[in-house]
Structure 1
Amino acid sequence: ESSPHLPAPNDVMVYSYNFRSLLKWSPVEVDRGLVLYTVHFKTGAFNEWDEMNCTRITQTECSFPWSLKQRRWTIVLRVRAELGQVTSDWVETDPFVAERNTIIGPPKVNSVNASSNSLLISVTPPFGSEVGDFLEYHVSYWENATSTAKKETRTSSTLFKIENLKEMTLYCFRIQVELTTYSDLQLLGLESAPECHRTTIS
């Protein structure tokens, strides 16, 4: 039975990074007693509320279980506060679709090998790809010493070269991932922090 005396959780939002998703909310403050929280979900295909692995928990966040890892599913979540027998109203999220709403992080730069006229860069993608994914790396690079315009190159390989560089020169680069899914959705990821390396002498 919902009660006007127990406020519902605020700031309820889904946070999703590299397709790992969780629901977060602000704690409900009460004078005495321990507030617990329960989270339910339903999918676009099956319009019935179901329990997640978060029933009467003390934390103010709830990770999505493996059963909800389908990127294309539309998922709605709801959370309420509970204090003894008293419960708050449910608070529902907007529909969430990981394939549209996740934030894609930058790739990990594993190694950079400099020669006199190129940098050979090895990266690891930010998440495990699924069938039908096409990943492209957008690389922007520039000479550190001058304010010359950035140059750009694109590649779908995790090992690639930035070529036609000057020798003994410090170059910086940033990389971001563009994901094209099998349903032709395009997601552009966050850029990596700039990394700088000096070419060698020939």
Structure 2
Amino acid sequence: MKSVFSCLSVVSLFYIVCVSSVLTESVPIPENVTVKSLDMGLVLEWDPPLNTTNQLFNYTAELKAWRDYEPVCVRSSSLSCDFTNKVSTFGLYQLRVRTELHGETSDWVEIKEFAVDKITEISAPRVELSSRKGQTEVDITDPPMRRRNLRDIFTQVSYLIHFWKEGEAKKEELITDQNRVMLSNLEPLVNYCVEVAVLYNKKTSQFNNMTCVTNSPSSAVEPGFIAAVLLVSFLVVLVSVVLIFLAMWYSHKVCRIIFPDTKLPENLKQFLSQQSQPPILSAMQESTQLKEHFHELRIFQTEPDSSQDKQQMEGSGIQTEKDECCTGADVTQRSEEKSETASTTSEEQHLLAE
């Protein structure tokens, strides 16, 4: 019995193996399974099985991060599967994919364990050129990463710069870790072309599309030009000083002619200083005050009673006549003095008018 049972077990096991081999052979595996990583993205790609152009296959792709596989793309008709959102920047991963047809599946095609930051490729940076003062400036912008930033992932990042004259095959090479570089010692008014790649993990990224710019004229000044400018400036200053001196000298001469510096006589100065006062007032202030001569006149009145009174009256009449004569003489003397004063005033007015 034991021998019979063992024979039956061997037969059944052989049958199961044969059936499973027939089933697996009925669904072929995908071809050319590859992992691609660009800018920290992760994509698994494959080709359909060989000699199955008329078959519509589905595919299932899975990711293994720690212990077990996790399905990401299940029964998809696409020939790729994006795992970017399932992976981190640093870590070890395994991928696998299989073919499915009418409920039957093929064997798994597995990818060996890898680190994303080790296999990823970096796209070309963005480059802008500008030229000023005989130098060309290269402004480099890192390509955007799908996970974090370029310098957060790679500690050592530098740039490889190729530049050359447009139309020539010889290229100059420059390596720098700065994202803004000045290309000096370039010929002015010549077209230069530039291409830049990123250096990371001992690898080189893609080069950007060729960018060209015309180098501007140099701002360096020749010593002869400086000497000529200084000489012209000196001559201009010298001529300006001479012209200013001549202009001032001739202006002084003209002013002396128009306004001569002569001394006026003292009497004319005195006359001009007194122009602010009226002539009559000044003449009155300078004239001496005239003294008036007068005599007292006394009149006595008495009653005519006697001969003595008559004699007195006669005598008073004679005295009155004498007084009147004296009074007339005084009036004549006063009129003469007034005429002299008037003549003196008229003479002064005449002098003032002159």
The question of a shared fold, defined as TM-score above 0.5 by the shorter chain, is answered with: yes
Query: Larger radius of gyration, structure 1 or 2?
Result: 2
- Distance (whole Å) between structure 2 residues aligned to residue 193 and residue 47 of structure 1: 44
**Partner letter of residue 103 of structure 1?**
E
Q: How does 1:36-75 map to 2 (within 5 A)?
A: 36-43=58-65, 46-52=66-72, 54-70=73-89, 72-75=90-93
Q: Which blocks of at least 5 consecutive residues in structure 2 are unaligned?
A: 1-19, 219-354
Residue in 2 that maps onto 1:194: 210
Q: TM-score, normalised by structure 2?
A: 0.49
The structure that is helix-richer by fraction is: 2
**Partner letter of residue 70 of structure 2?**
D
Aligned residues between the structures:
190
Pairwise CA RMSD: 2.1
Residue in 1 that maps onto 2:296: none
**Partner letter of residue 197 of structure 1?**
V
How far has the Cα of 1:37 moved from its partner? Answer: 0.7
Contact 1:145 1:170 in 2 (8 A): no
Residue in 1 that maps onto 2:40: 19
Q: TM-score, normalised by structure 1?
A: 0.83
SS class of match (1:56):
strand
Contact 1:38 1:57 in 2 (8 A): yes
1:177 aligns with 2:198: yes
Q: Which blocks of at least 5 consecutive residues in structure 1 are unaligned?
A: 180-184
- Distance (whole Å) between structure 2 residues aligned to residue 197 and residue 77 of structure 1: 47
CA offsets 1:123-169 (integer angstroms, 9 cap, x no match): 2212322256332111121222445x432222223222212211001
Q: Percent identical across equivalent pairs?
A: 25
The structure that is strand-richer by fraction is: 1
SS class of match (1:100):
helix
Residue in 1 that maps onto 2:26: 5
Contact 2:41 2:84 in 1 (8 A): no
Seen in structure 2, the aligned counterparts of structure 1 residues 59 and 140 have a Cα distance that, compared at 3 Å, is same
CA offsets 1:73-120 (integer angstroms, 9 cap, x no match): 2222110011121011111123332222122221112x2111242111
Residue in 1 that maps onto 2:111: 93
1:168 to 159, 171, 189: 189
Contact 1:116 1:165 in 2 (8 A): no
1:158 to 157, 179, 185: 179
- Which one scores higher on RCO, CA 8 angstroms, separation ≥ 6? 1
